[in-house]
């Protein structure tokens, strides 16, 4: 049985489907993470309670992290393999959505580049908000410590961090938008009527995700200007 399946596991079809499946896992994480970020709008008590709930069962949290890490590594690895194989074959049916004539789609041309940049940003993001301590001056607001809420708030008062964060989340939006289109192509779905709809929907989803993540630093900056943190 395994011998019969071996050719399929080595095929470009399997690799593309693996890229699509792992991409779907990462998309799910992105949506959940964005929704969790919105809790910051309800103040420090709600946001810190959300953080404490996530860490209430460390074993489950680490299992989730392990799944995400494996999914990210597999996604990147097989995306690179598929791209290399298609370049070697000289074909035009790459793991990317075909653009219309004259279309200049940054996400299409730099899919691997944006993916690599996001992978690097992930380590920076984890260092800032997951690994960093939740006590001390970095979490203080108006002379009191506010744990993760204070850490996030103070981080987004740093202009350089905000610029890097906004650039990264818009890369997420572009990568996600093109990835959704590529996922449907990788499973062999193409329809003259529905494929353009999928393309437009993916652009909307990518923009919504990018805007959603951008709201938090923008809220922090504006709120800090007009009245300070909501504590």
Structural domains of the chain ordered from first start = 11-91+103-226 (1.20.1300)
More confident residue, 45 or 110: 45
Name the H helices within the chain: 2-10, 12-37, 44-54, 58-89, 106-109, 111-126, 147-155, 159-186, 194-226
User: What is the reported pTM?
Assistant: 0.79
> Which tokens belong to 67?
């799944």
pLDDT of 110 reads 63
Query: Is it the case that residue 106 has pLDDT exceeding 80?
Result: no
Read off the pLDDT band of 101 (50, 70, 90). very low
Model pLDDT for residues 109-155, shown as the tens digit of each residue: 666 777 777 777 777 777 667 665 666 677 888 888 898 899 999 99
**Continuous segment of H or E residues that includes residue 187:** none
Q: Cα–Cα distance between 105 and 32 in angstroms, integer?
A: 27
For residue 96, which of 26, 29, 25, 23 has the smallest C-alpha distance? 23
Residue 95 CA to residue 153 CA, distance in Å, equals: 39
The secondary structure element, H or E, covering residue 140 is: strand 140-141
């Amino acid at each position: 049985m395994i011998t019969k399946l071996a050719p399929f596991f080595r095929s470009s079809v399997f690799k593309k489907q693996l890229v699509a499946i792992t991409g779907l896992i990462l998309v799910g994480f992105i949506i959940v993470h964005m929704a969790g970020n919105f809790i910051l709008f309800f103040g420090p008590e709600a946001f810190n309670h959300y953080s404490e709930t996530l860490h209430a069962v460390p074993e489950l949290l680490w299992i989730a992290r392990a799944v995400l890490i494996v999914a990210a590594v597999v996604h990147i690895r097989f995306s690179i393999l598929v791209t290399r194989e298609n370049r070697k074959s000289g074909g035009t049916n790459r793991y990317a959505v075909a653009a219309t004539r004259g279309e200049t789609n940054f996400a299409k041309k730099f899919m691997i580049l944006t993916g690599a940049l996001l992978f690097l940003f992930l380590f920076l993001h984890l260092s800032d908000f997951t690994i960093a301590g939740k006590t001390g001056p970095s979490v203080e607001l108006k002379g009191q410590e506010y744990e993760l809420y204070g850490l996030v708030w103070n981080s987004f008062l740093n202009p350089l961090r905000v610029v890097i964060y906004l650039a990264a989340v818009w890369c997420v939006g572009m990568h996600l938008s093109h990835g959704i289109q590529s996922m449907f192509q990788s499973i062999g779905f193409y329809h003259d009527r529905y494929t353009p709809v999928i393309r437009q929907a993916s652009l909307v989803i990518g923009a919504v995700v990018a805007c959603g993540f951008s709201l938090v630093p923008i809220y922090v900056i504006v709120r800090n200007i007009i009245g300070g943190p909501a504590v």
